[in-house]
Structure 1
Amino acid sequence: MKGQEWYQADDIAQEYDEKRFSRGGQLIDRREKAAVLDALGPLEDQDVLEIACGTGRFTVMLAQEGANVVGLDISAAMLQQGRRKAKVADVSGTLEFLRGDAGRLPFPDDHFDTVVAMRFFHLADDPAAFLSEMKRVSRERIVFDTFNRFSTRSVYNWALPMGSRLYSKSEVSVLLAKNALELVDVEDDFLVPYGLYRAIPNAFASPIRTIDRAIGRLPLSDHLMSVSYWNVRL
């Protein structure tokens, strides 16, 4: 995985949410959470695994929606932040945080209803193998996102501390076919790159987001969007 040493540092974990999901980044956080909830539907009593759960943004949200959740991440510092969030949200009894490797998931076959992997595939050195492992432990579906090759993200990708693996739609389609996964739906979003939203106050980011979404509804604009949210079934 790319950037493991950087990602596992204590100071990175402490500043992670503030740097990415404050200011205009609140709009990114809101959209990503909506994408996950829209894909999953009702979650009451569902068993969900989140891969690369980081500071628990999605893990805690899924527990609040009634799911039994396991959040797995390679960074002990990130997991500690997640446990604090769970305690504040009073959902500690319905979720568990584990340190582990997404390439060798410590669970039996068909153990979860759903596997979620957000902000993960852009770091994967062997995406087909990771997807295969997620399929192994899932009974029903997998939800994940990818950053797109033909998008504004490609302009500044080289400057990111962890880099990014960028995907074309055809590459993801090949990954799904190799793992015999059925595409249920894919949503594309964010013509304007994430970095701009994070750099400006929410008051300025909101009108930009309105324009971004309007352009996103135009024909063929999906080919230029920065991110895709994938919902697939076994």
Structure 2
Amino acid sequence: MKGKEWYQADDVAEEYDDKRFSEGGAFIDRREKEAVLSALGPVEGERILEVACGTGRFTVMMAQQGADIIGLDISPAMLSQGRQKAKEVGVDDHVEFMRGDAARLPFPDDHFDAVFAMRFFHLADRPVTFLRELRRVSKGEVFFDTFNLGSTRVIYNWLLPMGSRLYSRRDVESLLADSELELRSESHDFILPYGLYRQLPREVARPLRRLDTGLGKSTVGDRLASVSYWHTTK
């Protein structure tokens, strides 16, 4: 996986949420959580797996919605942040955080009602292998996102410390076909780059987000969007 050593560093885990999802980054956090809940909710009583759960942003959210969820990640430092977060909001009895490899998930076939992975496939060096594993352990639903070729992310992609794989629509369609998954629904967002939001105070980022949302609803919105959310099923 790209940037594996960087991702597992203690200091990266400790600063991860603050650097990316505070101030203007809160609009990114909100939209990503809406995308997950819109696709997979309601989740009360559902058994769910999050692959590459990081600091547990989505894992904890799903537990708060009543899911019994496992968050799997390769980074002990990230998992530690997730456990602390779950304990602070009182859902640690609904969450289990595990260290593991997304290419060899330690679960039997059809074990979960749904499986999802956010902010993962841009780092995946073997995306088909990973997606097949997500499909294998899910009874039906698989949800994931991609960063898109031809979007504003191309402008600064080379600056990122861990690199980033960008996908065309044809790439995603090929990935789904090779993984034997059917596309159930899709949505696309963020014409303006993530990096811009993270550098701005919330009140400055707010009108930009309104502008971005408006552009996204135009005829070129889907084509220029930097992020796509894919809701698939077996």
TM-score by length of 2: 0.99
Show structure 2 runs of 5+ residues with no match: none
Q: How far apart, CA to CA, are the structure 2 residues paired with 1:200 and 1:220?
A: 25
1:179 positional shift:
1.6
1:6 aligns with 2:6: yes
In the other structure, the counterpart of 1:221 is: 221
Alignment-derived partner of residue 113 in structure 1: 113
Cα distance in 1, alignment partners of residues 90 and 159 from structure 2:
38
Distance 2:33 2:23 in 1: 17
Q: CA deviation at 1:220?
A: 2.8
Task: Return structure 1 stretches of 4+ with deviation > 4 angstroms.
Answer: none
Q: Could you tell me which amino acid in structure 1 is paired with residue 120 of structure 2?
A: F
Tell me the distance in 1 between the aligned counterparts of 2:180 and 2:130.
Answer: 14
The secondary structure found in structure 2 opposite 1:97 is strand
1:166 lines up with 2:193 in the alignment = no
Q: Deviations over 1:57-87 (max 9, x none)?
A: 0000000001100000000000000000000
Equivalent in the alignment of 2:52: 52
Distance 2:137 2:221 in 1: 35
Corresponding residue number in structure 1 for 2:200: 200
Q: How does 1:180-191 map to 2 (within 5 A)?
A: 180-191=180-191
SS of the residue 2:84 aligns to: helix
Number of positions where the alignment pairs a residue of Structure 1 with one of Structure 2? 234
Does the residue aligned with 1:81 lie in a helix, a strand or coil? helix
Aligned equivalents of 2:180, 2:104: Cα separation in 1? 20
| Inter-partner Cα distance in structure 1 for 2:121 and 2:224 | 19
Matched AA of 2:128: A
Shift of 1:190: 0.2
> Which residue is 1:89 aligned to?
89
The one-letter amino acid paired with 2:19 is: K
Map of 1:64 onto structure 2: 64
Unaligned runs of 5+ in 1: none
Cα deviation, 1:5-64, whole Å, max 9, x if unaligned, reads 011010000000000001100000000000000001210110100000000000000000
For the residues of structure 1 that align with 2:70 and 2:162, how far apart are their CA atoms?
25
Could you tell me which amino acid in structure 2 is paired with residue 62 of structure 1?
Answer: M
TM-score by length of 1: 0.99
Letter aligned with residue 74 of structure 2: I
Query: 1:76 is matched with which residue?
Result: 76
Q: Which residue of 1 aligns with 2:179?
A: 179
Supply the distance in 2 between the matched residues of 1:180 and 1:6 (Cα, whole angstroms): 32
Q: Which residue of 1 aligns with 2:125?
A: 125
Q: For the aligned residues, what is the CA RMSD? A: 0.6
